[in-house]
Every structure is written in C-alpha cells, then in structure tokens.
Amino acid sequence: MEPKRILRQTLICMLFLTCITGLHEEILSHVGPFLKMDQALVTVRNMLPEGVDVFYTSDYCYKCLNQPLVTLKSGYQNTSVVVSTHFVLTLQVESQETNTPLCRWSQLYEEAGHYSVWVQQSDSSSNATCSHTVDTSPQNAYLPLVVSALFLALLSLSCVTAPYCYRRRCTTKLIERMCLKGPQNSVDCGETQNGGAEAEAARPKQKRLRSLDTFRGFSLTAMVFVNYGGGGYWFFEHAPWNGLTVGDILMPWFVFIIGTSVVLAFSSMQRKGVTCVQLLRKLTWRTVVLMMIGFCFINYSPKDGPLSWSWLRVPGVLQRLSFTYFILSLMETFWGQREIPMRKNPWWKPVQDVVLYWPQWVFILLLETVWLCFTFLLPVPNCPIGYLGAGGIGDDGLYPNCTGGAAGYIDKWLLGHNIYRYPTCREMYRTTEPFDPEGVLGTINSVVLGFLGMQAGKILLFYKKMNVSILSRFLIWAIILGISTAILTKCTRDEGFIPVNKNLWSLSFVTCTGCFSFLLLGAMYFIMDIKGWWGGQPFIYPGMNSIFVYVGHSLLGSYFPFSWEMRFQQSHWERLFQGLWGTSLWILVAYLLYRKRFFLKI
C-alpha cells in the first residue's frame, strides 16, 4: 500500500504543477504586481501584427511631453503596468512602424482596479481601435475618509450635547422633586449648583478673542495632520505646481493670523506705555529665537546627527514665519496707532482703518512692486523673462532647467545649493533643478499676506463692539480679494496672468488665501465671539501653544507613539488612522498643558 500511496501523491503533485504552469501567464495578467494605495493595474493587450508604444501624460501637468509607459513588440503581446490614480491620465497608442497615433483616451483609473486595454483592428475599417474592460472592480478609496468624518462628527456632537444634557438633568421638575425628598440628594444637587456658580464667578473673564486662538489652532492642527501624511490623499498634499489643495492653504492661514495678532498685541502694549526700544528688543529676540529653532530643526536628521550639514537647507517654514513677523512688527512699531483719533465725522471715517495707516500701505505697495519687477523683468539665463512654470517636461519641454523662473534663480544665486532639493513638481514634471517653496522672493508675498491679516486686526480694533461693521468689512475684503484672484487667474488653473501657486507664493495665491482667511475668521468670530455657540474646543488648545506643538510634532513625529511602521500599504485605512492618531495625541498634549497653565512663549 505504501508504494501506491507514494505514486498517487506524486501524480497529484505533477498534475498540480502542470495546472500552475499552464495558468501562470493568465494569473499574472489578472493579478499583476502587488498594488499599493493610489495605484491601479493596466494590462495592454496588443492584438495587432505590428508593435506599438503606449505613452501617457497627466492632465494636471501643464503642456507636458508624453512619457513612455509600455512598449509591446509584434506578435500579440500582453504587458501589465502600474499607474497612479491621483489625476486623470491621457494615454496614447502609437505604431512602432509609422510612429503615428492609433488611438488616444483620457481616464481616471481608480484605486486597486485592474483594467485591460485591447488594441485591435477595427472590423469596419483598417484603423486600429482601443477598447477598455474592467477585470477587477476598484475599491472605494474615499471610504476611510467618509467613515472617519462621520466618526468625528458623532464625537463632536456627543461633546456638544453631553454637557447640555448634564445641565438639564437637575432642572427638570422630576429631578427637583427627587432631590427635595432625600437630604443627601438635595445636598448633592445644591453643592453641584453652588459649586458651579462659585466656579463660574471665580473664573476670570475672557479678554482674548477666542476666534483668533481657534483660527490659529485649527490651521495648526490641520498642518500637523497634513505633515503626518494626510491619510495618503493627494488633496491633503501640496499641489505639484499650479493649483490649490487643502495642504496649500494652511500655512497662509497661519501667516494671516500672525498679522492679526501683531496688531492687537502691539496696540495693547503701546497703550500700556511700552517704549519703542522695548518693542524692538522684544521683536528682535523673538525673531532670532524662532529663526534659530527653525534653522536647527529643519536640518535635523536622526541618521546624520543633530546638525546634518550634508543636506543643509537655509530657508524653512519657521524662518519664513519669523521674518514675516519681524517685518510686520517693525511696521506696527513705527507706523502703528497708539490711540484711535476721536475726530467728529471726518470724511475718511468709513475707511479710517486704511487711511490712518497710509505709511504701511505705501511700504506694502513698494514691496509688491519689487516682487512684480523681479518676477517679470529679471533676466534669467536660458529662460524666458517672466517665466512662472515648473520646467522639466512642462511647457513642451522647452525650458527644462527653468523651474520657478526668477524665484529659483535668485535662491540659487544667493544660497547656492542649500535649498530644498525635492520640490513638489519633481515627480510629475521630471525636474532636476532644486527649488525652495520658502525661498527669498516668495517671502515678500508672505509679508503681504501677513499685512492682510493686520488689516483684519485693525478692523477688530477700530470697530470694537460693532459686530455688524466688523463682519461686513470682513466680507468686503473677501469679495475684493476674490475678484482680484479671478482677474489674475482668468478663473483657470494655468492660463491666467498670474496662476495660483504655493511654491512661488504668487500674488494670486496671496489674494486667494487672503479671501479664504477673511471668510473663515469672520465665520469663527460670529459663531464664537458674538453668538457664543462654540468655545473653540479642541482647536483652541494647540492655538494657545502653537510653537510647542509645531516644533514638537516636527521633532517627534516619526517616533512612537505618534507614528509607526505601517504594515498595510494597500489602502488608506492605516495611514489615515495614523495621521488622526498622531494629530489627536498632540491635541491631548496641548490640552494637558492648558490645564497646567503652561504656555511656551518666546
């Protein structure tokens, strides 16, 4: 019996191996390589007797050259390739013999989907046709985001309704009667009510505008989430070049609120009698400390040591924020108003928050003129004057080494190669030149955006307790900036006079983000400071400890428990959970510091 059993097992193994060998190509054509998130598998099946080449380009890439995707030789060959699912792709099939296009199509491939493209001869004509089939249905890439949004919405609703239900518990007649029947219950309810009243009376009155701290904390919290990967979704990252994503508007919001805070803080200090010398000493010290923290932190690498000179980068986020703060503070120190003039009905009263600060406006207009002149008039070697493109394969590949135009040229001239070497356009536009999104020329417009934030602070200062005037002026500024953006961009992403571009901090980028800033600050001011519907939790906690949270998450963000090595790369679930988890931990840290009354100030 033993030899028969061995023979039977041998035959089964041989049959199994034969089946596997015969189905090997079919399995590969359907399964393909191991797909990660934001990837799809496309199998090109050439049914023509001649060889074909398949090229592709992303519709987000402005006037980009076609890039080779697949080459299939003659003889009815099949080839599978992984493509990105971020943007719409335009694919083109060309004949290897005549180099003429056979077919062309545009499609947004979806995550984890397996697609087949059949290149075959048309039955009715001699032309080739391309037909598409879906071999494996894609998965819903946005399901983790929807589930997370619903969970956070339910959590927020619970946090809002729970205190309300608790307060109502001892106000109903039934509970009051139960409390009166039992002495212990009566004492408990009385102690709770009296204790709450005493705590409320002992609590100091809020002098700060909660909307400012919440605005700052909201933008910082979203920035932390984006820096943790944003769940792997492309719209939480920075745009490849022109355009605007969620990740692009967060730092401008932070710059905007810096300007608002400078006006309110310096106005308060000037009214208290703080001298100009003291203000200069304070703003200089804070600028130097922030710049040194940013310089040392940006060049930190666990691999290379605390100061990794091998990849030294001079510009950075904190460097730009500190320089912007320095210029805005100087403007408010020398050209600010200690007291609001009390003249009766002057002609300029409706625009007094603009007219009284005319030296600041002159300085900002001169600063913006400098940006416009350098951007559109500075000759750049081997590049057209006024070039704002990404270079590389963009603009039909005519200017491959002109990334950023004058902005990139000035940074390389002043800073050499100590700038950011992996710009957001590198992957899509195939650029080889370094470009720093926090460069010198863009910092000018950072000051301009901060000045718009100062204008919001002046409105809050001049029209205090005149809520209708404050909200209406916020809305007017938002409309003016929105119309300016529409004119500069021609309501397009790439075809305007000055496209919206975060890498360049273009003028249209400043007007666009300034418009959103006025709208968001106005909405928060109405909800929190006028109506009192929301106290700003939980964003107000990181907003009151912004320096600690930003520096802390930047230094410790890659360590456990804020992040870990992910095991499931096929979907957004784990990456989104990791981003939300790390962000929530920093909110918790900020809340604990708030309870301890610890606020890191410089």
> How far is 559 from 565, CA to CA, in rounded Å?
10
> Cα separation of 141 and 146, whole Å?
10
Q: For residue 6, what are the contacts with CB-CB under 8 A and spacing of at least 6?
A: none
For residue 272, give Cα distances in angstroms to 278, 381, 535. Answer: 12, 54, 28
Question: 9: part of which helix (H) or strand (E)?
Answer: helix 2-31
DSSP 3-state assignment of 81?
Answer: strand
Give the number of C-alpha atoms closer than 13 A to the C-alpha of residue 381, restricted to the C-beta side.
4
Residue 259, classed as helix, strand or coil, is helix
Name the residue among 52, 53, 57, 55 with its Cα closest to residue 396: 57
| CA 364 from centre of chain | 26
Residue type, 561: P
The CA distances from residue 210 to 160, 503, 521, 595, 600, in Å, are 17, 31, 11, 17, 18
238 tagged catalytic:
yes
- For residues 290 and 317, is the Cβ–Cβ distance under 8 A? no
DSSP 138: P
The DSSP result for 261-297, as a single string, is HHHHHHHHHHHTT--HHHHHHHHHHHHHHHHHHHHHH
The amino acid sitting at 202 is A
Alpha carbon distance 522, 481 (integer Å): 15
Q: Which of 557, 537, 550 is nearest to 600 (CA)?
A: 550
Are 505 and 445 within 8 A, CB to CB?
yes
Out of 86, 114, 238, 553, the active site residue is: 238
Catalytic residues: 238
